């Protein structure tokens, strides 16, 4: 039986918690720089508080302005999951508010990443629960379906698969396939260490800036005295 457009897959192949947590101290920019700079969600999707986003994707496809499947996803989610909602970038209805955020928090859900709108933005400022969304709208959602859970979704121009590792900070959000994660933890950690070295060189005045002029010269830039 196939019920395309209105179906729920219950199983997610989640990476280990340890592997997900290994990204905790790596800024999103330092992860993205090791991924060809092409795996970040659209910058229109913004954090609504200071809480860090780190967890495993449970995906939802929500038809325009309808959050029935989003509610079901909260009930299905496990601690550490991030509910990633493909709301088709719709700006006309909120897909969640404070009730759903508090419910999710209580369950240990790690956050919401929503290509669509939220509401109760003022209340969210004081909640220790990460919510990233495209915008806000006071108009509430419908609850009729259809929709799908745990299928590949589009969120901020990125394909997100159930089980993907999601990392967000004030700069934005990056999407990581679990099979790439170990390598990216190693590269991101090295990236962090290199940056610490650069910061030290800036402080003690030993930073080598010769690469700027060398690069301009190699690219044929004319410098006029
Ligand atoms: O009506 C809904 O499902 C969303 C909502 O306002 C809330 O979560 O507070
Ligand atoms: Mg509400």
98 among the known binding-site residues? yes
Q: Which atom of ligand 1 is nearest the CA belonging to 95?
A: 4
User: How far is 128 from 83, CA to CA, in rounded Å?
Assistant: 16
Calculate how far, in angstroms, residue 99's C-alpha sits from the geometric centre of ligand 1. Answer: 6
**DSSP summary character for residue 50:** S
ipTM of the complex: 0.96
Pocket test for ligand 1, best of 100, 112, 143 (most atoms within 8 A of CB): 100
**pLDDT of res. 1:** 60
68 Cα distance to chain centroid: 22
Mean of the pLDDT values across residues 117-132? 97
User: How far is 202 from 14, CA to CA, in rounded Å?
Assistant: 41
Pocket-forming residues, ligand 1, beta carbon under 6 Å: 67, 96-100, 120, 140-141
Tokens standing for 93?
């209805």
Domain spans of the chain?
6-186
Confidence of residue 204 (pLDDT cuts 50, 70, 90): very high
- How high does pLDDT run on average in the chain? 97
Architecture of domain 6-186: 3-Layer(bba) Sandwich (3.50)
Mean of the pLDDT values across residues 196-208? 98
Nearest CA to ligand 1 atom 7: 97
Query: Whole-model pTM?
Result: 0.96
């Amino acid at each position: 039986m196939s019920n395309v457009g209105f179906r729920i897959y219950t199983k997610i192949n989640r990476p280990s918690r340890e592997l997900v947590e290994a990204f905790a101290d790596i800024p999103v920019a330092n992860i993205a720089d090791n991924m060809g700079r092409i795996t970040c969600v659209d910058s229109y999707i913004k954090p609504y508080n200071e809480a860090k986003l780190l967890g495993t994707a449970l995906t939802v496809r929500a038809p325009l302005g309808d959050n029935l499947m989003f509610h079901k996803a909260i009930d299905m989610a496990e601690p550490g999951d991030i509910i990633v909602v493909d709301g088709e970038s719709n700006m006309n209805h909120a897909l969640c508010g404070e009730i759903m955020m508090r419910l999710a928090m209580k369950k240990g859900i790690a956050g919401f990443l929503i290509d669509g709108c939220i509401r109760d933005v003022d209340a969210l400022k004081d909640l220790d629960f990460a919510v990233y969304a495209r915008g806000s709208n006071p108009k509430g959602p419908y609850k009729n379906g259809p929709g799908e859970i745990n299928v590949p979704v589009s969120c901020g121009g990125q394909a997100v698969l159930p089980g993907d590792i999601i990392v967000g900070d004030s700069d934005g959000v990056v999407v990581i396939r679990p099979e790439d994660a170990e390598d990216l933890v190693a590269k991101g950690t090295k990236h962090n260490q290199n940056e610490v070295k650069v910061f030290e060189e800036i402080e003690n005045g030993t930073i080598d800036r010769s690469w700027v002029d060398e690069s301009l010269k190699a690219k044929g830039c004319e410098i006029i005295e």
